[in-house]
Structure 1
Amino acid sequence: MSGKPIPSPDVPPVPDFSTVMGHPRPLWMLFMTEFWERFAFYGMRWALALYIVAQFYAGEAGGEAPASRLYGAYLALVYAAALFGGYVADRVIGYQRSILLGAVIMAAGLFLIMVPNEELFKLGLATVIVGNGLFKPNISTMVGKLYAPGDGRRDSGFTLFYMGINLGAMIAPWLTGILAERIMGGSPEMPAYKVVFLASGIGMLISLVWFWFGRAQLRGIGQPLPGAEGTGRVLVTGVCAIVAIPVFYFLLSIGAGALQWILSALFVGLCVLILKEGFKDGAIRRDMAVAMLIIFVFNVLFWCFFEQAGSSFNFLAQNIVDRDFSGWIFPVGWFQSVNSLAIITLAPVLAWLWVKMGSANPSIPRKFGLGLIFNGLAFLLLMFALSSLVDPQTLKIPFWTLFMVYVIQSVGELCLSPIGLSMVTKLAPVRLVGFGMGGWFLSTAIGNNLSGIFASHVSGEAGMNVQSALSGYTFGFWALVIPGVLLFLIAPLIQKLMHGVK
């Protein structure tokens, strides 16, 4: 079969929105809401592992491994919570109310992690997790709901939305880094990390206000289901969210290994539910669900190694990269902006390239394969730098190598991540689109937790050195390139299951 996905009678008609730059006007409101939420998220993300070592391990290198594991577990639970947030939006309070409630809770958590107590710090992280779970999957799902089935603007709309994400992610490390190291009494050796968390909390409040006043543009999209409009459900959801915070605190505390088993069990359960719903909708929807779940597995691998950015790459930048420019030290946190700058620069280029290629445009599975391969090439550059470019006096590698690692990874991300968000809205069972989006984030969560475990091995018990980094990143190269090539080769089989979805 060729052509467009089969529309379902369960899909409500899309309002006739006025357009801005060729896209529905509410897209730009969602763009800015997500910009400020990502500012908050990435504003604190770059500092998290570094702060844990500095505050709770007295700056000792032996703190790198536990900091990486906690960072990976936190990031994993942020995305795993999206599974429940998607279900709450689908079946309980609607997308708009989920976003508003999530924004309030997330802001509270960002302010709480400013307290220099390890237990309260973890409790603050757990609060951020719950809030982000209600917020993140649902705003992405609402972007898809702005377009009718088969609307050719959908992919480019998600690409524009993804640029909003990365604009916030680019500015946040730069601005919060300046505040922490230059303005609020910090230094490159010891930034004022609490200022980073304060700025992130303020950014989240701006996101909340922006969506509160802009949601009228949605003209009913994301409202609760008929019969569920009362405030009682919101209050019950809020109470459940508060109850969930200690649960996520416990999950942060049990260790990354135990958490991996829990996440894997959740993923298996999700696969069963999505397949069951797909079978109800007939053979075509069943095949689409199978194709989506296969791609989810490869998604785990991508994020396991991509998410070294907030853990082992930070310690690599701090300990092994030459950041000295004639006495001016390039801040470690600013490396986090390179990825987003590359995304903003390269996203229009790749969007143009996909259109220019016409019928030769790679299928979704092949784009995922390219994403894995480019991610692997970034690790190949690190292998070269750590084996051939280490300065014998300083034991450091050139600045440009880590800079280009982020750029190469960004190409891989553009082949995979924005396409993935759009893919879920096309392939997921119609009645569980939010749940399917939660599944996308759960597969990302598993990869993120593995990223912390992997980063802890790269650092080892005594902290990162050239040999430990070379050994770890060599493994990363092979673990990405081999599955990437395999996915590229079997892409026609997966595409057949997708029944014409592009």
Structure 2
Amino acid sequence: MSAAAPNTPAQLPEFKQVMGHPRPLWMLFMTEFWERFAFYGMRWALALYIVAEFFGGDSSGEAHASRLYGAYLALVYAAALFGGYVADRVIGYQRSILIGAVVMAVGLFMVVVPNETVFRIGLATIIAGNGLFKPNISTMVGQLYAPGDERRDSGFTLFYMGINAGAFIAPILTGYLAEHMFGGSSAMPAYKAVFIASGLGMLISLIWFWFGRARLQGIGKPIAGSEGLAKPLMVAVGVVVAIPLIFFLLTIEASLLAWILGVLFLALCVLILREGFQDGAVARDKALAMLIIFAFNVLFWMFFEQAGSSFNFLAQNIVQRDFGGWTFPVGWFQSVNSLAIISLAPVIAWIWVRLGRANPSIPRKFGLGIIFNGLAFLLLMVALSSMVDPQTMKIPFWTLFMVYVIQSVGELCLSPIGLSMVTKLAPVRLVGFGMGGWFLSTAIGNNLSGIFAGVISGEGGMTVASAHSGYTFGFWVLIGAGVLLFLIAPLIQKLMHGVK
């Protein structure tokens, strides 16, 4: 009999089944729905708000806003490393989620304050809370199913739908509120409505989990002997201490943060490779294959995450959004990705099954993901070079809409298999560090996305020429990386020793 996962009873409780799955899955589904509502509800507005509030709407602030956005997103992913450890070894998953939800809610309400220092402290607080919340609720979904339970994958698929449902609704609702509350308009949204709505969403998530956690019947509780309040208080103090450190990382140059994240990543790679060498040739080869794919993962997210930075400025200034007196809100573009994921995920899954033995290998699926990302940039290249209206200096609405759709196809080729790949390739004793490598590679890509978006905007703000130049560079890098990955896929597959 295999050992139980940390913070999980040795024998699973007899859960009541709802629609063929354990009843607590639906409680976790809605908890995550509201947390993602909070996260994505304010994500679209961050860079735009920074320019509007702290630069008086001057486009010279776009580069600064993009770099700060990239740093924020990078640290959100990096914080997940520490949050997973705290849940595993210190206070359990339930308490980690509760503390994380409280901290995130506080941070979301702090960013409402129109003061740049308070705003950055609020972002640091959100990062600290998200680190405790995000990785641990996903882990608990897996703990609802016994090892070998064939429903596990479909359970995660349903949970993933909750994530995307929250991410789809949030920008639409918060974008609407920003234009209709506190004197906001399409020309000048009231961004505090966005942050208030997101904070309320996080409170709903907290309340939902607080009252629903009894259904878990012990899943995710602290390990025996740690049920008291001493350790949660210690973690709370740790969060308070961590927030100034995160605040500091948000204030340094994005390039310096990139070096810090890079050093952490290299140290992680050394540990993983050393363990792989000690475990023999097969383990060594698998670890090396995983690290190669991590490098390509950095590139994917560097360009994919233009969604929250340069694509917003593109939508605001260079995309035709007027439809007979009604203006399509900038924030609504952020919902296209989630809508495409929900619509296309079953199609992509069907294609993989239909291909059977011709199903692409993991490296080639990653390559397809990167190439589709590149094709999205190709569409922008064409639009910015040959579809600009000479009267308005704007490109057609449908072009940016389709960019999000094409990127979503790339995401579906790459993202769902990432974490699964890590569990199959990482050295047995360092799977946690392997997950850390995945999160860190994503974090590095997110930070680089902010730096790249800042280059596109330059000192004076985004123009048609600067956008065309930047997105052309993005296209060639992505297509080159995707083709390279396709070419070396057989070598990587050989290093994987039969892992599919």
| TM-score, normalised with respect to structure 1 | 0.93
Aligned to 2:381, which of 380, 383, 401?
383
The gaps in structure 1 that reach 5 residues or longer are: 1-6
Note if contact 1:14-1:147 (Cα within 8 Å) is conserved in structure 2. no
Q: Which residue of 2 aligns with 1:230?
A: 228
The Cα of 1:145 is off from its aligned counterpart by 3.4
Q: Counterparts of 2:214 and 2:425 in 1: how far apart (Å)?
A: 29
CA distance in 1, matches of 2:270, 2:392: 53
Partner of 1:4: none
* Correspondence for 1:37: 35
- Secondary structure at the residue paired with 1:457? helix
CA contact (8 A) 1:81 1:133 kept: yes
**Alpha-carbon distance, 1:10 to partner:** 6.8
The answer as to 2:363 corresponding to 1:360 is: no
Q: Is 1:56 paired with 2:54?
A: yes
Taking a change above 3 Å as real, the CA distance of residues 143 and 283 of structure 1, as seen in their structure-2 partners, is farther
The correspondence for 2:179, drawn from 178, 181, 195, is: 181
Q: Indicate if the aligned counterparts of 2:105 and 2:202 stay in contact, CA closer than 8 A.
A: yes
Q: 1:360 to 1:26 in 2, by over 3 A?
A: farther
After superposition, what is the alpha-carbon deviation per residue over 1:92-125, rounded to whole angstroms, capped at 9, x for unaligned?
2222221111111111000000100000100000
1:84 & 1:115 partners in 2: Cα distance? 28
Partner residue in 1 for 2:90:
92
Aligned to 1:3: none
Structure 1 window deviating more from structure 2 (48-57 vs 356-365): it is 356-365
Q: What are the within-5 Å matches in structure 2 for residues 436-447 of structure 1?
A: 436-447=434-445
Residues 88/281 of structure 1: CA separation in 2 closer, same or farther (3 Å cut):
farther
Q: Which residue of 453, 456, 460 maps to 1:455? A: 453
Residue of 209, 215, 218 corresponding to 2:213: 215
Which residue matches 2:415? 417
Aligned in 2, Cα 1:429/1:148: closer, same or farther, shift over 3 Å? farther
Give the direction of change, closer, same or farther, for the CA distance of 1:437–1:208 in structure 2 (3 Å limit): farther
Matches within 5 A, 1:159-198: 159-198=157-196
Q: Quick one: distance in 2 between partners of 1:142 and 1:206?
A: 19
SS of 1:362's equivalent? coil
1:310-360 deviation per Cα after TM superposition (whole angstroms, max 9, x unaligned): 110000011110111111111111111111111111112222222233333
Aligned partner letter, 1:59: G
Change in 2 beyond 3 A, CA 1:185/1:253: same
For 1:217 and 1:282, the matched residues in 2 are separated by 44
Are 2:93 and 2:222, in contact at CA under 8 Å, matched by a contact in 1? yes
Whichever residue aligns with residue 143 of structure 1, its letter is V
- Would the aligned equivalents of 2:363 and 2:485 in 1 still touch at CA under 8 Å? yes
Q: Deviations over 1:481-502 (max 9, x none)?
A: 1111222333343334445444
Provide the residue aligned with 1:312 in structure 2.
Answer: 310
Contact 2:181-2:190 within 8 A present in 1 as well: no
Paired amino acid for 1:52: I
Which whole-Å CA distance do the structure 2 matches of 1:399 and 1:237 have between them? Answer: 47
Distance (whole Å) between structure 1 residues aligned to residue 207 and residue 275 of structure 2: 36
User: Which amino acid is 2:180 matched to?
Assistant: R
**2:143 aligns to what?**
145
Q: Percent identity?
A: 79
Residue 120 of structure 1, aligned match among 118, 121, 144? 118
Amino acid in structure 1 at the alignment position of 2:71:
A
Residue 473 of structure 1: how far off its partner (Å): 0.3
Structure 2 CA distance for aligned equivalents of residues 209 and 365 of structure 1:
42
| Bigger Cα displacement from structure 2, 413-422 vs 114-123 | 413-422
Aligned residues: 496
Deviation at 1:138, TM superposition (A): 1.7
1:181 maps to amino acid? E
286-295 or 335-344: which moved more? Answer: 286-295
- My pick for the range that moved more, 410-419 or 226-235, is 226-235
C-alpha distance in 1, partners of 2:11/2:419?
19
1:406 counterpart = 2:367? no
Kept in 1: contact 2:181–2:193 (CA 8 A): no
**Equivalent residue letter for 1:420:** G
Q: Which has the higher contact order (CA 8 A, sep 6+)?
A: 1
| Cα separation, partners in 2 of 1:287 and 1:138, compared to 1, 3 Å | farther
The Cα shift of 1:429 comes to 4.9
Contact 1:302–1:375 under 8 Å retained in 2 = yes
Give the gaps of 5 or more residues in structure 2: none
Give the residue type in structure 1 aligned to 2:345.
A
Cα separation, 1, equivalents of 2:74 and 2:165: 23
The letter of the residue matching 2:306 is: Q
2:269 matched to which residue of 1?
A: 271
C-alpha separation in 2, matches of 1:86 and 1:265: 21
The 2-side partners of 1:23 and 1:293 are apart by 35
* CA distance in structure 1 between the aligned counterparts of 2:25 and 2:278, rounded to whole angstroms: 32
The farther-off stretch of 408-417 and 362-371 is 362-371
Say which is worse superposed, 381-390 or 231-240, in terms of deviation: 231-240
Moved more, 433-442 or 451-460: 433-442
SS of alignment partner, residue 187 of structure 1: coil
Q: Does the 8 Å contact 2:124/2:247 carry over to 1?
A: yes
Q: Deviations over 1:141-187 (max 9, x none)?
A: 33333445555544443333222111111100100111110244200
Amino acid at match of 1:296: F
Judging changes above 3 Å, is the alpha-carbon distance between structure 1 residues 209 and 435 closer, same or farther for their aligned structure 2 residues? farther
CA distance change for structure 1 residues 339 and 464 in 2, over 3 Å: closer, same or farther?
same
For 2:213 and 2:276, the matched residues in 1 are separated by 32
Pairing 1:303–2:314 present: no
Q: TM-score, normalising length from structure 2? A: 0.93
